[in-house]
Amino acid sequence: MNDFFWNFFEVIVTFVEGFIIFYFICNFLKHDFKTPKGKIIYILGVVLKSALTILMNSITLYDWWVSIIYVAGWFVISCALLNGKIIVKLFAVAIAEVVVIVSSNFVTAVLSVALNFPPEVLFSMQNAYRIIGVTMCQTLNFLLYSFILKIADKTIFAMKMKEWVLIISVLLISTLSFGIIQTALNETKLSAVTSVLLMICEIGLLALNIICLYITISLNQSNRTAEELKLKEQQLKHEVQYAQSVRSQYQEMRRIRHDIKQQLATISGLQFEGKYDKAQKYISDITNGIEQLDMFMDVGNDFVNAILNSKLSTAKSKGIEVLCNFSGKIDGINEYDLCNLIGNMLDNAIEAAENAGDNAVIEVSLFSDKHKMIFTVSNSISKSVLNSNPELKTVKDEPDLHGFGVKTIKAIAAKYNGNVDFYEENLVFFCSVLLCKQYQTN
């Protein structure tokens, strides 16, 4: 009867630990617990891992390789049942196992010193101390998992692959070290002091893992902040440029309005004097001057018109043919964001078309309906860009100071829940951006 009770107790402990660990993994991977499917997945994962633990307990009490088995088990379960990146799943299950090892060893060390028992004896005790130890372990697990979830905010999911590799490597090495130390504690007769010192080393390893995670997240945040500042600096530069373009065109219109009165008076005077040939030549000269101010596109928005026609005028002055088409209404998108988007797309297209040789063409199309806006810019290229530079990284000197055009385009598309598509057809490069309109509600 006594053995049955303790066997039943161990099974209950196994399931409780499974619930706590998988709850952490699910939360780390942003699993949805609210739906019936989400709850079933959670329970299924707990049952599978608990079955693996019971199986391993029947084979061996503890060995260094058991931790590897548990990490592999959780990883397989997470890949089968949960969504998310593989690298993030590997991190979640590895840190989960590290926490279990450290909390177990810490509690073992505390009770060993307090009760003056060898650490290995505590694993086989069948009394109240065993219940206290298990309760302390699961409580410590929960607290450590809660702490990790707090510091591992959404920033961690935006980390780069090399940052993930660093963290995972540290975790796996630590997990192996924990297993070896624990095996030594279980199978080697050590003094109480030596055992406690080894367990303190394990706690130190956990602290190093947490510090490594914190530093990596902090560096990632700093890099992201620096990049965002550069993007905002570029955006401000474009906005100033657009404002200057609007102001310049407005001043030019005021000058033309002032001059046109004098021109009309001159034409009237020449006709009155019968000098029709001179009047015709004078009209031709005026017409040639006005052609430089022709609008390529009129989208019904003065600010957007200014940047569009300013950039397209620049393209035409470089000998690039310009084709345009537009349909719909400009609304639902912030003018500054739209101008920043258009400016970057056209800057990239003009620069690429300049290198395409003679007969270069830029085509601009803007389609807008009630829900979305699609802006597409295509330009001639002399050879494939995506084959040699699929990520469209800058090829200019000092890349840290350049290459924000594509990033800005992607950032604006993401802001409006849209997407960006880069593709090529017959030596023509296309950049197409879809933006979902956002209307302010009172």
With contact defined as beta carbons under 8 Å apart, do 415 and 434 qualify?
no
The edge-to-edge listing of strands for the beta sheet with 372-380 is: 321-327, 361-368, 372-380, 428-436, 419-424
User: Of 438, 442, 405, nearest to 422 (Cα)?
Assistant: 405
With contact defined as beta carbons under 8 Å apart, do 50 and 18 qualify?
yes
- Model's pTM, two decimal places? 0.47
Q: So what's the pLDDT on residue 401?
A: 38
Rg (CA), the chain: 34
With contact defined as beta carbons under 8 Å apart, do 152 and 34 qualify?
no
Taking only the tens of pLDDT, the chain with its 442 residues reads 567 777 788 888 889 988 999 999 998 888 888 888 889 999 999 999 888 888 887 776 656 677 788 888 889 999 999 988 888 888 888 888 888 877 887 787 777 767 776 655 666 677 777 788 888 888 888 888 887 787 666 556 566 777 777 777 777 777 677 667 766 766 666 676 776 677 677 777 777 777 877 787 777 777 777 777 776 776 676 666 666 666 666 666 667 667 777 777 787 777 778 777 877 887 777 776 655 555 566 777 777 887 788 788 888 888 898 888 888 888 888 888 888 888 889 988 998 898 887 889 999 999 999 889 999 999 999 888 888 877 776 555 444 433 567 888 888 898 899 999 999 988 899 999 999 998 765 4
**Domain 296-442 falls under CATH 3.30.565.10:** yes
Q: Residue 388 is which amino acid?
A: S
Cα–Cα distance for residue pair 90/96, rounded to 1 Å: 10
- CB-based contacts of 411: which residues, under 8 Å, 6+ apart? 231
With contact defined as beta carbons under 8 Å apart, do 299 and 330 qualify?
yes
Q: So what's the pLDDT on residue 399?
A: 43
Q: So what's the pLDDT on residue 229?
A: 77
Q: Which two tokens stand for residue 343?
A: 């400016």
Q: Residue 410 is which amino acid?
A: K
User: Of 382, 390, 342, nearest to 361 (Cα)?
Assistant: 382
- CB-based contacts of 116: which residues, under 8 Å, 6+ apart? 192
The structure tokens 């800005």 sit at 408
Domain ranges of the chain: 2-231, 296-442
Q: Which two tokens stand for residue 407?
A: 């990033």
Strand partners, 354: none
Q: So what's the pLDDT on residue 253?
A: 64
Q: 184: part of which helix (H) or strand (E)?
A: helix 161-187
Question: What's the distance, CA 248 to chain centroid?
Answer: 39
